[in-house]
Amino acid sequence: STRARIVILGGGAAGMSMANRLVRRLSGATITVVEPRELHQYQPGWTLVASGVWEADRTLRPNADFRPAGIDWVKGPAVGIDAEQRKITLADASTLEYDLLVVATGLQLNYDLIEGMSPELIGSNGIGSVYASLEAATRTRDAIDGWLDKGGGQGIFTSPQTAIKCAGAPIKMTFTTLSRIKAKGERERFDLDYYTAGGGMFSQPWVSEFLKQRFDRENITRHHLQYLSAIDPAGRQAEFTSKDGSTEVRDYDFIHVVPPMSAPDFVKDSDLIAQDGPFKGEWLDSDMYTMQHNRYPEVFGIGDVIGCPINKTAASVKAQAPVVEANIAAFLQEKALPARHNGYTSCPLITDIGKAMLVEFGYDNNMDFLPSFSFIDPKEESWSVWVLKDHLLQPAYYAMLKGRV
């Protein structure tokens, strides 16, 4: 039993899972979740919404369906963290003190770092972006429909210069759009280009090589080490910047924009942000194995906000949650932290409408595959993985929110 005051910042995939786990694990603790939203968003469904496969409302459930009894729920955003005083400031200027903090805020989409771009533009002027919100995913579907109805022209798909959540999503959007173009029987009328700030296509080396070959075979022109730096919606022009600072301007009929991402501003402005190294100023300074903060031991991080070379998927949250639970329980008893996260992340990489590959990997051995199912080959595209994505992963995700898996 403990009398610890625990605050969980964010009640999304990671925060909700932790609330359910900690309420069961720790008797006597006071657990407060700070979360402004009323509805839980199943973000992995957004690519299916934007590809015209799912209706939007299939991705929404009230938070009340998952919220455990016996916790306090603050419905509003946190605006400040004082790690020295162990205090959270809320939007109404009131404060919450904690003995133990779980940072599970997810990440922030920085559309403003692309000159001329804002999330309001999604769905107009041939601009799509699956990331901004469910509404944006729906409007992205409409923008792609509009391009297909036009009967041809230039499409551009982008991937930015920062880590992103679901690194497969920019690629999935390219493939599902290609699939729809082919279904119209008008492939030769459409030009597709893919711009990525990375030298490869994906962090996992085998997948990166596979995707290079597939893009080439499908005649999707790849541009590496260039990122989208500005957009002129009215003129339908996009500017790309190379590592050496040189720029190139391209005309488009449709563009899929993936913005740079980082920890939310109020986390960036706090003592909890990384002070040096590859995550400096952008991501939470937590240990990628124990998930404990590197400088404030009473703080743990989970989900998209953490500084980490891979992860940023709901599948990673599923692997991280039992680790964070075990380590928090040990920390409160002043014991050594027993659990380590192996970096597990997974992506049902859609390669066609009706086909996908289940790519699962972790930190070790050059991000070697970590397959969960003996009957699924990570190097094979199959209809069965598509069915997994289309029907089975969402119930598994909801079980995770309830802390059951």
Helices (H), 151-290: 169-183, 205-217, 265-268
Task: Provide, rounded to whole angstroms, the least separation between the CB of residue 331 and ligand FAD.
Answer: 20
What's the min distance (Å) between Cβ of 182 and ligand FAD?
22
201, HSE (Cβ side, Cα atoms, 13 Å): 24
319 binds ligand FAD (CB under 6 A): no
> Tokens 């036009």 sit at which residue?
150
Of 21-29, 42-50, 188-196, 234-242, the segment contacting ligand FAD by CB under 6 A is 42-50
Q: Which residues contact 6 (CB under 8 A, 6 or more apart)?
A: 22, 26, 29, 30, 31, 32, 98, 99, 100, 101, 102, 328
166 binds ligand FAD (CB under 6 A): yes
Q: Do 152 and 326 meet the contact criterion of CB atoms below 8 Å apart?
A: no
378 lies in the site for ligand FAD, by CB under 6 A: no
User: Within a 10 A sphere around the Cβ of 111, how many other Cβ atoms?
Assistant: 20
Q: How many other CB atoms are found less than 10 A from the CB of residue 377?
A: 14
Contacts of 141 by beta carbon, 8 Å cutoff, 6+ apart: 49, 50, 51, 52, 128
Residue 400 binding ligand FAD, by CB under 6 A:
no
**Closer by beta carbon to ligand FAD, 92 or else 149:** 92
Whichever of 59 and 294 has its CB closer to ligand FAD, that residue is 59
State CA 110 to chain mean position distance. Answer: 13
- Judged by DSSP in three states, 95 sits in strand
- Residues within window 321-350 making contact with ligand FAD, judged by CB under 6 A: 347-348
Secondary structure of residue 173 in the 3-state scheme: helix
Annotated active-site residue 308? The verdict is: no
The pattern of x and - marking residues 117 through 156 that bind ligand FAD according to CB under 6 A reads -------------xx-------------------------
Residue 19 within binding range of ligand FAD, rule CB under 6 A: no
Choosing from 7, 169, 284, 357, the residue that interacts with ligand FAD (CB under 6 A) is 169
For ligand FAD, the binding residue among 106, 155, 259, 403 (CB under 6 A) is 106
Q: Tell me if 260 contacts ligand FAD by CB under 6 A.
A: no
Q: Are 313 and 346 in contact (CB under 8 A)?
A: yes
Q: Which of 144, 178, 284, 347 is catalytic?
A: 347
The CB-nearest residue to ligand FAD is: 12
Q: Which residues are catalytic, by number?
A: 166, 347
Interface positions with ligand FAD (CB under 6 A): 9-15, 34-37, 43-44, 46-47, 77-78, 104-106, 130-131, 165-166, 169, 264, 266, 303-305, 312-315, 317, 347-348
